Chain A
């Protein structure tokens, strides 16, 4: 474990917590893409499928974190699609998730390190995570604005994988560890946030709201 990966995981936890708090406190999921949250839940379940396959003795933080990610993302989906369904902005959350899931699944079958079920699921989860934020970014572009709290959520969510890139550089240099698939997908994922990062840093940090087109 290195500082970059630690802060990456903390940033990821913060993002999940910020979103849960926003929905719970405001009792509304306005401005939040339910599809993105569904895709994240699918990512966690397919990536941590080993938790379900053999008994999980909660003997280390890794297992606990995986269970937190899975339960928090499923709970977030429950809040969006059931509890606060009335506030779900389905009209603007209109990006076709199938256009993300099918290519990720296809690519996972073509480009992977080992053609076995667990590895294919892991690879699918990595590819899907890289594009899972697109429905959320699409929704913001359709509504033309993002609540400040949602901007903080996106900043934390984007920073998590950006910090993981630093972690991969660190591990390549000090542990000569390379996980090419995760690195390529992580770079693509972080690039998708660049536009938002620019808006966040030039606007939200100064107390302004993000309004599109910028």
Chain B
């Protein structure tokens, strides 16, 4: 659900 390049971890 994150645009590419976003950090998708807590």
Contact = CB atoms under 8 A, between A and B. Distances in A.
A179 B5 CA distance: 9
A5 interface: yes
A88 interface: no
Interface in A101-117: 113-114
B10 A69 contact: yes
Contacts of A69: 10
Contact of A60 (B1, B5, B7, B9): B1
A40 to B, nearest CB: 13
Contacts of B10: 9, 12, 62, 65-66, 69
A188 B9 CA distance: 18
Interface string A150-179: 000000000000001001000000000001
B1 A182 contact: no
B9 to A, nearest CB: 7
Contacts of B7: 122, 179, 182
Nearest to A167: B9
A122 B6 CA distance: 10
A182 B8 CA distance: 11
Contacts of B1: 60, 62
A137 B7 CA distance: 29
Nearest to A8: B10
Interface of B: 1, 5, 7, 9-10
Interface of A: 5, 9, 12, 60, 62, 65-66, 69, 113-114, 122, 164, 167, 179, 182
* CB-CB nearest 5 A-B residue pairs: A65-B10, A9-B10, A122-B7, A179-B7, A5-B9
